[in-house]
Amino acid sequence: MARSRQGSLVSFRPDIKVVDCTLRDGGLVNNFAFSDEFVKDLYLANIKAGVDYMEFGYKASTEIFNPAQFGKWKFCKEQDIRSIVGDNKTDTKISVMADVGRTDFKKDILNKKDSVIDLIRVATYINTIPAAIEMLEDAKKKGYETTVNIMAVSKVNDDDLDGGLELLGQSSVDTIYLVDSFGAFYPEQVERLCDKYLNMAAKYNKKIGIHAHNNQQLAFANTIEALTMGASYLDATVSGMGRGAGNCYMELLLSFLRNPKYNKIAIMNFVEKHMQKLRDEGAVWGYDIPYLLTGMLNSHPSSAIQFIKENRTDYAMFYQELIDNVL
């Protein structure tokens, strides 16, 4: 049964939580090579802006990833986070992401009483949900808030998605995210999927989140579509910084939300100081024709990323290559 919308474009929703993913999704652009000044200034900007959660990066295993090839926010060691936030006596909570199969979660995720982290976000594909649930239960027992991102859901059939949502509904996870990994969705599809997710959420007393990519310049539109349907957790990044085409712009989202606690000026000041400098240093992200094409064809953006790295401009040929691979 279709659900009614949870407000209009001008409604105030006190349940909304804004999650800044700049370091984590943006770190995929520059191998997490952010300066301490950048990270500290972003933390302070998020506090001033009223952002609810700041995601510092991944809890990746050093047995799988070579620390010499990545910045420290690929691994989010406790002492590194504390060097920025201290004991974090603020209203902005700290989160990290842990990928299924890429995190030594039993060792690297401490008990909450020993950590400044508040929220563990587990990322999974549909076929690894049982392993994700093991990680979620471990994090919950350690005392953390938890969310789960089902990635690449645009490639998942309805029966498998229904089964995965049912398993997660029966788990202890707090919030389940709709994730448009390939930037393939249109608002009408987000509406339909939110309806599915929210029906499950109502059954099991869960919350729903949205994580959008901007391949077709719809990350903001899809985020506010999910919001008006009833999603509570909204992911965004400063200047849309994220893998490939990037994500929903934090500046746009804070300008849209009606809660007076959100202060977009703090984020704009951060953009002015840091974001163009980051681009000048070689970080590349944002809408471009190759990302449009992979999003339109519901394909992983890796081929578009490579196309741009090679400074190619033969867009029609690239489109044909993508079609040939799809077929």
DSSP-assigned letters across all residues of 262-303: --HHHHHHHIIIIIHHHHHTT---S--HHHHHHHHTT--THH
Query: Cα–Cα–Cα angle for 261, 245, 69, nearest 5°?
Result: 95
6 confidence band (pLDDT: 50, 70, 90): confident
Q: Which two tokens stand for residue 105?
A: 């979660």
Q: What does pTM read for this prediction?
A: 0.96
Detail the DSSP E strand segments found in the chain.
17-20, 53-58, 93-99, 119-124, 145-150, 175-180, 207-212, 233-236
Confidence of residue 12 (pLDDT cuts 50, 70, 90): confident
- 3-class state of residue 10 by DSSP: coil
DSSP type of residue 76: -
Between the CA atoms of 7, 8, 14 and 16, what dihedral angle is there, to the nearest 10 degrees? 100
Give the per-residue pLDDT at 237.
98
Full set of structural domains in the chain with CATH: 17-280 (3.20.20.70), 289-326 (no CATH)
Mean pLDDT of 146-161: 98
Distance (Å, whole) CA 297 – CA 292? 9
Q: Return mean pLDDT, the chain.
A: 96
Q: What does the alpha-carbon distance between residue 324 and residue 298 come to, in Å, rounded to a whole number?
A: 14
pLDDT in tens, 234-267: 999 999 999 999 999 999 999 999 889 999 999 9
The end-to-end CA distance of the chain, in Å, is: 35
| pLDDT (tens digit per residue) in 264-296 | 999 999 999 999 999 999 999 999 999 999 999
Model confidence band, residue 325 (pLDDT cutoffs 50, 70, 90): confident
What pLDDT was estimated at residue 14? 86
Q: 119 with 51: CB under 8 angstroms? A: no
What is the reported pLDDT for 120?
98
Mean pLDDT calculated for residue range 221-245? 97
User: Angle, to 10 degrees, between the axis of helix 158-169 and the axis of helix 187-204?
Assistant: 30
> What Å distances lie between residue 33 and 69, 141, 188, 225, 280, CA to CA?
10, 32, 37, 33, 14
pLDDT-derived band at 326 (thresholds 50, 70, 90) equals confident
Q: Give the model's pLDDT for residue 261.
A: 93
Pairing mode of beta strands 93-99, 53-58: parallel
